[in-house]
Amino acid sequence: MQELNDFLGLIDGIIGGSDWFVYLLLGTGIFFTVYLKFPQIRYFRHAIKVVKGKFDKKSDEGDATHFQALATALSGTVGTGNIGGVALAIHLGGPAALFWMLVTAFLGMTTKFVEVTLSHKYREKVEDGSIAGGPMYYMKNADIRFMGKKLNMRWVAALFAFATIMSSFGTGSLPQINNISNSIFTTFGITQWVTGLILAVVLAMVILGGIKRIVKVTEKLVPSMAILYFFGALGVILYNYENIIPSLISVFADVFTGSAATGGFMGATLSYAFNRGVNRGLFSNEAGQGSAPIAHAAAKAHEPVSEGMVAILEPFIDTIVICTLTGLVLLSSGAWNQKFQNKFQYTDIEVLQGSYNELEQSDKEKIYQHLVGKESLDVFDGSLDVQNGKITNDITLLHARSFAEDVRVFLGDELYTGKLSVSNGDVIDESGNIIIRGKSLLHSAPLTTEAFKMGLFGDFGKYIVSIGLLLFAFSTAISWSYYGDRASTYLWGTKSVFYYRIVYVVGFFFGSFADTTIIWTLSGITIAIMTIPNLIGILLMRKEMLETVKKYWGDFKTEWPEEKTPE
């Protein structure tokens, strides 16, 4: 399984984890922002009016209101990325990574405007009377040309739909419940499979009712979880009010230089902060991925551009508001560069040959160069001798990109004495019962949990994160089930949807206690497979997009002459 995961990781590094993918994503956002004259700014107020239903007509076709479609799309994007993704970005790239997340979101507001408009324009009514849409439909139905020749995009549409189904498991189902069950176990001590079983039953009750039941749940769930998280985050930020200004300065101060070492944080280069910030930004708001247009296609609207307007608000709410809150919690509390006592994850451990001292600046610089890939240090290979929980070899143990301190090895609850295998710097636990504990940096949801405990609510803050994670991740699972069932409809017709939903729920249950490492890696590949053809497709349709927007404002001025328009 490890070899398979390494192979998938290699593919993911070539596609989604590569620099060219980041440039394609940002480049598309920059192009359309300039080409359409900054619609994310000019159309923002108008978008709010559309969401409120001010311009709705009784004759509009669809299965959901503008607000319900926005809530469903937001429930798919507002998830573990907002709690754990921001923490991971800052852990890897420092405070500057948050800046690049915000830049990605700003440009993503335009990208979503474009992809939702074009997908909504080519949506279809399927045999059961419901509305189906998404990038696969514009790929199939639009007259897409390159150098004057019409392109056959049907096979690309099928590939996109298949990748969407795979992503529904890799993004929406398995990792989400895995995060929920582990967080609930840590906080409340409830066994993972019990949490999985209960939530799988609830999930089935929601998604088996189709889009109309899904939107009724998400329109109530999204505002509730946003309010809870907002006040919880505010409790930390205001409690550490003296650090608010320094935290904001740190986000912008090192944007073009990279973040310097501070506390347990070893530092990060500009390119690393840029790559991690953009990568996590995409994971958070999914702009350009093509998932949100599937939800927006169900909205009641007579004009595709009006639903594109609604989509402008998504990255703003998801990343610019919620992710900024999380970032300020992490930075103002100081949790991001502090070491905490924790149970080490084997994937975050690296064993180096020889002793390095964190207090020695030269040693710290060597470790930093090693972590950013500029200088490779010798890793340990062989057996570690453990006596009464202490490692006796001349080695340096890194965990979560930091010097590990007070390291103890346990067999179950007892201090361990014996051998511990290490292969190329990676600890190998063949028994599955060896536990390594110590002090180190944290990342992802555990880091956010610690930060929330360093505020007004004290230890109670961990419950806010656990409940927030439960609501965020569960809502993501609901929305991605809809994305997957629309993709199934496109590939195999409406009769396949029931079987897809059953498999989705079963997978959701097993994901609560299974190792989802491979699923996460596979998800990275499928996200790239969705994003790349979608970005290329909307770039090829740029002229049609411009003409569609112009027609919208022309018709709007005729129908609503009393309204001021941004045009």
Please name the residues in contact with 430: beta carbons below 8 A apart, sequence gap of 6 or more.
Answer: 421
49 Cα distance to chain centroid: 28
Euclidean distance between CA atoms 175 and 205, whole angstroms? 20
Instruction: Report DSSP letters for 137-177, one per residue.
Output: HHHHHS--EETTEEP--HHHHHHHHHHHHHHIIIIIIHHHH
Q: Which of 517, 513, 465, 519 has the alpha carbon at shortest distance from 195? A: 513
What pLDDT shows up at residue 79?
67
Backbone phi, psi, residue 298, to 5°: -80, -10
Q: Say whether 208 sits in a helix, a strand or coil.
A: coil
Strand residue runs (E) in 145-291 = 145-146, 149-150
For the stretch 201-243, pLDDT in tens is 999 998 888 777 888 888 888 788 888 889 999 999 999 999 9
Euclidean distance between CA atoms 514 and 522, whole angstroms? 15
What pLDDT shows up at residue 517?
66
For the stretch 77-103, pLDDT in tens is 776 677 777 888 888 888 988 998 888
Kindly tell me the number of DSSP H helices and DSSP E strands found in the chain. 24, 15
Contact 310, 70 (CB under 8 A): yes
Strand partners, 438: 342
What is the identity of the amino acid at 35?
Answer: Y
Task: Give CA separation, 196 vs 151, 183, 449, 506, in Å.
Answer: 45, 12, 21, 10
Q: What is the DSSP letter of 376?
A: P
552 is written with which tokens?
A: 């919208």
Contact 82, 233 (CB under 8 A): no
What pLDDT shows up at residue 269?
78
Phi-psi label, residue 458: left if phi above 0, alpha if psi -120 to 50, beta otherwise: left
263 is written with which tokens?
A: 């506390």
Q: How many residues comprise the chain?
A: 567
Residues of the chain with pLDDT under 50: none
What pLDDT shows up at residue 520?
67
64 is written with which tokens?
A: 């959901």
**HSE value, Cβ hemisphere, 13 Å, CA-based, for 378:** 9
Contact 310, 47 (CB under 8 A): yes
What pLDDT shows up at residue 222?
77
pTM over 0.75: yes
What pLDDT shows up at residue 472?
81
What pLDDT shows up at residue 529?
86
Strand 418-423, strand 426-428: pairing? antiparallel
70 Cα distance to chain centroid: 17
What pLDDT shows up at residue 516?
63
What pLDDT shows up at residue 19?
76
Q: How many CB atoms lie within 10 A of CB 469?
A: 27
370 is written with which tokens?
A: 């090693």
Phi-psi label, residue 440: left if phi above 0, alpha if psi -120 to 50, beta otherwise: beta
Please name the residues in contact with 281: beta carbons below 8 A apart, sequence gap of 6 or more.
Answer: 89, 100, 101, 102, 103, 104, 105, 108, 319, 323
Q: Which of 420, 467, 492, 548 has the alpha carbon at shortest distance from 83? A: 467
Contact 142, 114 (CB under 8 A): no
Contact 64, 131 (CB under 8 A): no
Contact 201, 422 (CB under 8 A): no
Contact 170, 522 (CB under 8 A): yes
Domains recognised in the chain with CATH numbers: 2-338+454-559 (1.20.1740), 341-440 (no CATH)
Q: Which of 220, 230, 171 has the alpha carbon at shortest distance from 473? A: 171
Q: What sign has the CA pseudo-torsion 429, 432, 433, 437?
A: positive
